Amino acid sequence: MPRDSQHLHPRRPPVAPLHAATVLLLRDAPAPGGAGAGTLQVLMTRRSATASFVPGAYVFPGGGIEAQDAAPASHALADRRPAQTGERLTEALAALRESFEELGILLARREDGRWAGPEDIAALDRQGPFAAQCAARGLRLAADAMYPLAHWTADRNLPKRFAVPFLVARMPPGQEPVADESEQFEPVWVRPADALARHEAGQFFMIYPTIRTLERLAQYADVQAVLDAVAHEQPLWVSNPRSGLLAGREERYMEHEPPFGELALVCPDGHGQHALDWQCERPVPLLRNVQRLTAPNPGVMTGPGTNSYLVGEPATGYIAIDPGPQDGEHLERLWRAAGGDIRAIVCTHSHADHSPGAAPLKALVAAHGRPAPPILGLPSAPTARAASHFAPERSLSNGELLTLTGQGPEGEITHTVEVVHTPGHAANHLCLILREDGLLFSGDHILNGSTTIIDPPDGNMADYLDSLARLDALCLQHGVEFIAPAHGYVLEGARAAIAQLTAHRLAREAKVLAAMQARPGGSMEDWTRLAYADVPPRMWPLAQRSLLAHVERIRMLMDE
């Protein structure tokens, strides 16, 4: 983990979340005209305009978990599945109680097993002791009809936060929602896609977790499909979103989305002020000792552009990682961001979007009176393409340490960068680990949002997978949590990202092998169409390069 001294914002504990529960009541509405398959609908209601939390928003019924929801008497009155723990039962009872208090929906069964009906609902006082009233009427609470769909914890930067399981249940037959006209108003059955469209049009205000839940729910055709998906008793997702600024507006991101890891690094406690816009004009501080400057070379192969990094600070000088293409304005910005004090230039590999800027950056530093920094890396292998020729002034060794030191207000400052030889994407590829802060500079070996091309003969899939395993071991050894790639945002959870990438490559290789077996006399184009059927055809020419690398590895394994 990064040293506290290197964080851009002072550490602060987020507000402890309050515990609540909510339920998505679902039904299948007939298709227009009364014929055809059912259409999934969810029950939503509008919060009071004077509510202290998200006034006027359309939500699912729910609320805070109360002592009565965890009381033994309430638990004894509930029907439960064997997999429902005491905590899960309490959450279900809270959601069940809240749906009754807010909308008059009663998920309860009579002694003969039939669902509670309008006469049962009319006999109960919504503001009275819920469980006791149900018990007096001989009703059992149908907690077993509620299944976990998701779990949301509000962003760390909010002054009031909730930790909320989102449960799903089929709407009991013969009941109609009636709002309490105090907390909730205007209950409405709506298709998830329609709710999202109305929100987009400014007619149906919803908050982030509601929107994202509806986006997932819209993938299901009917209630049974949803219930089948949650039958394993585990939430389909668990999320504690993070926020950043995009085009000057606050936006939130879930764990699987590319900006999430960068926000975790830069704003670990949820300050939410980190700008996520891709731009080339200004360096982006990631830590006090790490800046990123993106070259103006966006494209299919480079994403938003090639990331150049500066490691260091004024007291120590800087190491420039991947100066990028030979773009004068980009190199001058990089030089200025370092205050002209660049002590070394390291190229992760020889490709044309990474190394050509090294020599002119060195010349720029020297032209302004500073000692000329050495250009470091590994020379291009004979297998490299002509456009990827690179010859460093000094070759780095696997395991070599590059150290920056200086005196700061609190004593000596040290930044140690370990060199890791990681062939695979290119034979001369290097990754770098900033040891003190657990940060891996991955070059093109690991990207955010895409998988790198392995292009034989300089690219080698067996070497690539071996390098991933080596990086995983080093991440464990040095406590590396974050990855700074040459293209895209910072990734969080380095070892999980490596494991996921390894699994993805092996799964793709299994598809390649299946394609080879299905078409033993097929061409590379034939195998690409089969193995990359889930990839847009416009990307097949690029995919074919990695397919060749998989084929070479498969044949190597067969020959062993």
Task: Write the CB contacts of 549 (distance below 8 Å, at least 6 apart in sequence).
Answer: 454, 455, 456, 459, 460, 461, 464
What is the sign, positive or negative, of the torsion defined by CA atoms of 46, 50, 51, 57?
A: positive
Contact 454, 484 (CB under 8 A): no
Which amino acid does the sequence have at 328? G
Place of tokens 């009809």: 145
CA dihedral 85, 90, 93, 99 (to 10 degrees): -120
SS3 311: strand
Q: Cis peptide leading into 457, omega within 30 of 0?
A: yes
- Widest CA span of the chain, in angstroms? 91
What is the sign, positive or negative, of the torsion defined by CA atoms of 314, 317, 320, 326?
A: positive
pLDDT, residue 113, reads 94
What is the rounded end-to-end Cα distance, in angstroms, of the chain? 41
Q: Where are the alpha helices (DSSP H) in 230-275?
A: 259-266
Q: For residue 315, what are its two tokens? A: 């007291």
160: exposed, middle or buried (Cβ count in 10 Å: 0-12, 13-18, 19+): exposed
Q: What is the DSSP string of 94-160?
A: HHHHHHHHHH----EE-TTSPBP-HHHHHHS-TTS-HHHHHHHTT-EE-GGG-EEEEEEE--TT-SS
Place of tokens 């009906």: 117
Measure the CA–CA gap between 210 and 91, rounded to whole angstroms. 18
pLDDT, residue 33, reads 54
Structural domains of the chain, ranges and CATH numbers in brackets: 18-240 (3.90.79.10), 243-277 (no CATH), 283-453+474-493 (3.60.15.10)
Q: For residue 517, what are its two tokens? A: 């077996």
Task: Write the CB contacts of 93 (distance below 8 Å, at least 6 apart in sequence).
Answer: 69, 70, 74, 75, 78, 131, 141, 143
Task: Write the CB contacts of 119 (distance below 8 Å, at least 6 apart in sequence).
Answer: none
pLDDT, residue 38, reads 56
CA-to-CA separations, 302 to 157, 278, 384, in angstroms, rounded: 32, 13, 19
pLDDT, residue 535, reads 92
Shortest CA distance to 210 belongs to which of 241, 248, 169, 243?
A: 241
The tens digit of pLDDT for each residue in 413-469 reads 999 999 999 999 999 999 999 999 999 999 999 999 889 999 999 999 999 999 999
Shortest CA distance to 173 belongs to which of 134, 120, 95?
A: 120
Measure the CA–CA gap between 498 and 491, rounded to whole angstroms. 10
CA-to-CA separations, 103 to 114, 134, 279, in angstroms, rounded: 20, 16, 49
Measure the CA–CA gap between 321 and 316, rounded to whole angstroms. 16
Measure the CA–CA gap between 312 and 409, rounded to whole angstroms. 15
How many Cα neighbours within 13 Å face the side chain of 61? 34
Measure the CA–CA gap between 220 and 553, rounded to whole angstroms. 39
Give the chain's residues under pLDDT 70: 31-38
Contact 44, 187 (CB under 8 A): yes
Contact 184, 103 (CB under 8 A): yes
pLDDT, residue 36, reads 44
The tens digit of pLDDT for each residue in 510-548 reads 999 999 999 999 999 999 999 999 999 999 999 999 999
SS3 312: strand
